[in-house]
Amino acid sequence: MNGYVFLGIAIALEVFSTSMLKYSEGFTKLYPSLAFVVGMSASFYAVAQAMTVIPLNITYAIWSGVGTVLTALVSILIWKESINIYSGIGIGLIVIGVVMLNLKGPAH
């Protein structure tokens, strides 16, 4: 399987797991807590598989950067959390950093 497929799966699982962490209410709800543990474990497995093909620096930058951006979107759309201009700029800078690393990073 393509490393980027594993990376996409890892990102989706990370975003899902983070939402379950919020929903677990500090690990006081059993099923969301279990979903977090299983989902995050599967995410780490998938990101490890991606790293067999994609360099570490690229894999981690995409996994953490895209995961952060998508989690921020979930927090706004699902959890109705607010965002301000500084958060928006920070998220934009994360996206720019991931793009730059992919275009001109050490792997190239």
pTM: 0.88
3-state secondary structure of 74: helix
**Calpha distance 10→41 (Å, rounded):** 10
pLDDT average, residue stretch 1-12: 95
Q: For 72-82, how does the pLDDT look when each residue is reduced to its tens digit (9 = 90+)? A: 999 999 999 99
Average pLDDT, the chain: 93
pLDDT bin (cut points 50, 70, 90) of residue 9 is: very high
Distance CA 18, CA 14 (A): 6
Residue ranges making up the domain that contains 18:
3-104
The contacts of residue 16 (CB under 8 Å, 6+ apart) are 35, 39
**pLDDT one-digit tens code per residue, 58-106:** 999 899 999 999 999 999 999 999 999 999 999 999 989 888 887 876 6
The pLDDT > 90 percentage for the chain reads: 82
Amino acid 105: pLDDT? 67
Residue 108 has pLDDT above 60, yes or no: no
Q: How many domains does the chain have?
A: 1
